[in-house]
Amino acid sequence: MSDNAHLAEQLDLISKLLELNGADSFRASANARAARAIEAWPADICAVARDRGKPALMEIEGIGPKLADKIIEYSRDGRIKELDELRAATPAGLLDIMQVPGLGPKTVRMLWQEGKVVDRASLQRIIDDGTILTLPRMGAKAVEKIKASLALHVEAAQRLRLGPAAAVADRVLAALRPIVGDSPMAFAGSLRRGKDTVGDIDVLLATDNATISRAAHEAFITMKGVTGVVAGGSAETRTSVQMLVGFSSRWDESDDSPPAGEQAGPRVQVDLRIMPKASFGAAIMYFTGSKEHNVAMRLRALDRGLTLNEYGLFPEDNSTTEAPHKRGIAPIASDTEEAIYNALGLRFIPPELRENAGELSAFALDTPPASAPAALVSLSDIRADLHAHTTASDGVLSIVALATEAKRRGFHTIAVTDHSKSSVIAGGLSPERLRAHIGAIHAARGEIDGITILAGSEVDILSDGSLDYDDDLLAALDVVVASPHAALTQDSATATKRLLRAIEHPLVHILGHPTGRLVLRRPGLSPDMATLVAAAKQHAVALEINAHWMRLDLRDTHIRQSVDAGCVLAINCDVHHPEDFDNLKFGVQTARRGWLPRERCINTWDAPKLHTWLKAKR
């Protein structure tokens, strides 16, 4: 976590605690506004504080004299005294309750003051005995929402989102690679399959060198961020550790400990498994899963008189219960996944599809070519992004900087789609500002060659399904991404009607993050997807797969439904920061889990085809 992000987190917490303690709402909102400004600030805010002082900080919109003092205090001491005082004045359990989706500071304060709630247990108690129904604004419907949010919060404590899990795995691989050299090594499990959440992380290393094995083990258990060894000794083939997820970029490389306050961050179990080199293919297949896919594969092997385990595919031998590899029986295939799949009459099955959802029959070698799945979309296929924000709303890049970064990544087209007027908190553009913004986008086209910059907008779908701008202004845009941002607890019928109206609008190109869910935080809308998918196909609207790991919306099951119906889809990064382009891999993984073919993803099309498709609605 960067200094900016950590400081923004601290100020946001001050804002919540001020509300929780009944402080003046202006003080709370000032801290929240400063947190947003600091999080979006492109440079190191602490460096500004140290080098240029209070006057320079106050030049930043949203930073007044008192907030500037807090920034200076944080840059000097690494903490803010006001936050320490607020924590001391607040029952610690209320901070946990405030992490529950839908329970904001005002509601938590009421539960605290009126219901004597000080932690999750006391909240659960008044729910169970019905006392909560006697509190202000706590009707049966509101209580049901709290119960659902509590259940989601429990799940979130047990699972890790795909993006942070991938970052942990990448850290482990990077730390071990100098030690293991060119020995095969990769992560497996649900992370390799690209699931939106991960329970734990499996890292596989294949080596027959005992020295490398011991060195890898030692490096693994002493990595920065490891808070404890769960199991495994120096000679074990499996070692498990608990590792901090929030590994901070602020950690000094010479320091073995995280800064104060990060010791209690979220953790994930990471398993290092060391296998014989000849068994790497079988091992990574086995530990990638899913369990259902593995069972189907083992049954397929048994039907052919073979035995499949994590060491290889072996001739079946029922003379003893001891595993064939322990008796020195040579495997038919073991070193690569491809060899094992081929030996069982299958083409290689991509990891994302291994859910026992029809992949074995689809990838059978005897499946007629016409019935075989089309090539799935891959990361290298993506040539355009059609959902990106600039400093005009809540992004940190200028138009030219955004286009420059997109060009650097090999894209032929980037669409600037800043927020519409109803997204006030995100700096949404009034009609007048949008018209001026369109002009600025057109002017920027002359400043950079080799990439097409499109003028667009992420237009709010209002609660009744109408759009946030009039049609004459929508018609002036090259790209319209219509997205729901508010009223995300509507019932299914209302949500379906709302989104259907947006799909049917003749000027809409893309339905952006259609359910509005946030993984492990907010379930979002639950529309009738079959109805929306049919309408999207009919009206030539692309359904978006928002690639941010907190969204991944559409989710994989909806993508499969859309693919089966013949829809086109878009994979967009919803760029606000330069590094948001890196989330593209998560969107592609999710698309592949939904069996999305390359040619049905509009971001893979060449520029003439894509631009022709966009202009068809103008």
Residue 322 has pLDDT above 70, yes or no: no
> Which candidate, 150, 170, 29, places its Cα nearest to that of 101?
150
As a whole number of angstroms, the distance between CA 276 and CA 74 comes to: 50
Amino acid at residue number 314: F
What is residue 199's DSSP assignment? S
Q: How many CB atoms lie within 10 A of CB 136?
A: 10
Burial label for 1, CB within 10 Å (0-12, 13-18, 19+), is middle
pLDDT, mean of residues 562-588: 97
Residue 125 has pLDDT above 60, yes or no: yes
As a whole number of angstroms, the distance between CA 428 and CA 560 comes to: 33
Q: Between β-strands 384-385 and 542-546, what pairing exists: parallel, antiparallel or unpaired?
A: unpaired
CB distance 298 to 356 below 8 Å:
no
Identify each DSSP E strand in 493-565 by its residue range.
510-511, 542-546
CB distance 467 to 461 below 8 Å:
yes
CB distance 491 to 479 below 8 Å:
no
Residue 607: the pLDDT is 98
What is residue 423's DSSP assignment? -
Contacts of 33 (CB under 8 A, 6+ apart): 62
Q: Is 347 helix (H, G, I), strand (E, B) or coil?
A: coil
20-34, 92-106, 112-126, 141-155: range with lowest mean pLDDT: 141-155
Name the pLDDT band for 3 (thresholds 50, 70, 90).
confident
Percent of the chain predicted with pLDDT > 70: 93
CATH classification code of 379-615: 3.20.20.140
Q: Is 242 helix (H, G, I), strand (E, B) or coil?
A: strand
As a whole number of angstroms, the distance between CA 472 and CA 311 comes to: 64
Q: Where do we find the tokens 């899990």? A: 165
As a whole number of angstroms, the distance between CA 251 and CA 228 comes to: 18
> Cα torsion at 584, 589, 591, 594 (round to 10°)?
-170
- CATH 3.30.210.10 holds for 293-371: yes
pLDDT tens for each residue of 334-389 = 999 999 999 999 999 999 999 999 999 999 999 887 888 899 999 999 999 999 99
Q: Between β-strands 452-460 and 185-187, what pairing exists: parallel, antiparallel or unpaired?
A: unpaired
Name the pLDDT band for 250 (thresholds 50, 70, 90).
very low
Q: What are phi and psi of 419, to 5 degrees?
A: -65, 155
Residue 260: the pLDDT is 39
As a whole number of angstroms, the distance between CA 270 and CA 199 comes to: 10
**570 sits in which H/E element:** strand 569-572
Across-strand partners of 413?
Answer: 384, 452
As a whole number of angstroms, the distance between CA 308 and CA 316 comes to: 9
| Six-digit token string for 367 | 């499946």
pLDDT tens for each residue of 25-82 = 889 889 988 888 887 777 788 888 888 889 889 988 889 999 999 999 999 988 899 9
Q: What is the pTM of this model?
A: 0.79
93-97, 110-114, 536-540: range with lowest mean pLDDT: 93-97
pLDDT, mean of residues 531-539: 98
Across-strand partners of 231?
Answer: 240
| Six-digit token string for 321 | 């219960």
Name the pLDDT band for 153 (thresholds 50, 70, 90).
low
Residue 157: the pLDDT is 65
Residue 507: the pLDDT is 98
CB distance 334 to 576 below 8 Å:
no
As a whole number of angstroms, the distance between CA 575 and CA 580 comes to: 5
CB distance 548 to 585 below 8 Å:
no
| Six-digit token string for 530 | 């079959």
Distances (CA, A) of 512 to 26, 386, 488, 565: 33, 10, 14, 19
As a whole number of angstroms, the distance between CA 618 and CA 603 comes to: 19
3-158 topology per CATH: DNA polymerase; domain 1 (1.10.150)
As a whole number of angstroms, the distance between CA 226 and CA 269 comes to: 10
Percent of the chain predicted with pLDDT > 90: 73
Q: Where do we find the tokens 């992560």? A: 187
As a whole number of angstroms, the distance between CA 506 and CA 502 comes to: 9
As a whole number of angstroms, the distance between CA 115 and CA 123 comes to: 8
Q: Is the peptide bond preceding residue 290 cis, with omega within 30 degrees of 0?
A: yes
Residue 265: the pLDDT is 59
Q: Do domains 3-158 and 160-251+262-275 have the same CATH topology?
A: no
pLDDT tens for each residue of 462-514 = 999 999 999 999 999 999 999 999 999 999 999 999 999 999 999 999 999 99
pLDDT, mean of residues 159-182: 95
CB distance 329 to 314 below 8 Å:
yes
What is residue 601's DSSP assignment? B
* Mean pLDDT, rounded, of the chain: 91
Residue 319: the pLDDT is 57
Residue 455: the pLDDT is 98
Q: How far is CA 457 from the centre of its chain?
A: 22
3-class secondary structure per residue, 364-391: ECCCCHHHCCCCECCHHHCCEECCECCC
As a whole number of angstroms, the distance between CA 50 and CA 438 comes to: 38
Domain boundaries, the chain: 3-158, 160-251+262-275, 293-371, 379-615
pLDDT, mean of residues 404-413: 98
Residue 262 has pLDDT above 70, yes or no: no
Residue 90 has pLDDT above 60, yes or no: yes
**314 sits in which H/E element:** strand 312-315
CB distance 287 to 273 below 8 Å:
yes
Q: Between β-strands 479-483 and 452-460, what pairing exists: parallel, antiparallel or unpaired?
A: parallel
- Indicate the angle between helix axes 105-115 and 120-128, nearest 10 degrees: 70
CATH superfamily of 160-251+262-275: Beta Polymerase, domain 2 (3.30.460.10)
**523-550 burial, b if ≥16 CB within 10 A, otherwise e?**
bbbebebeebbbbbbeeebbbbbbbbbb
80-94, 242-256, 413-427: range with lowest mean pLDDT: 242-256
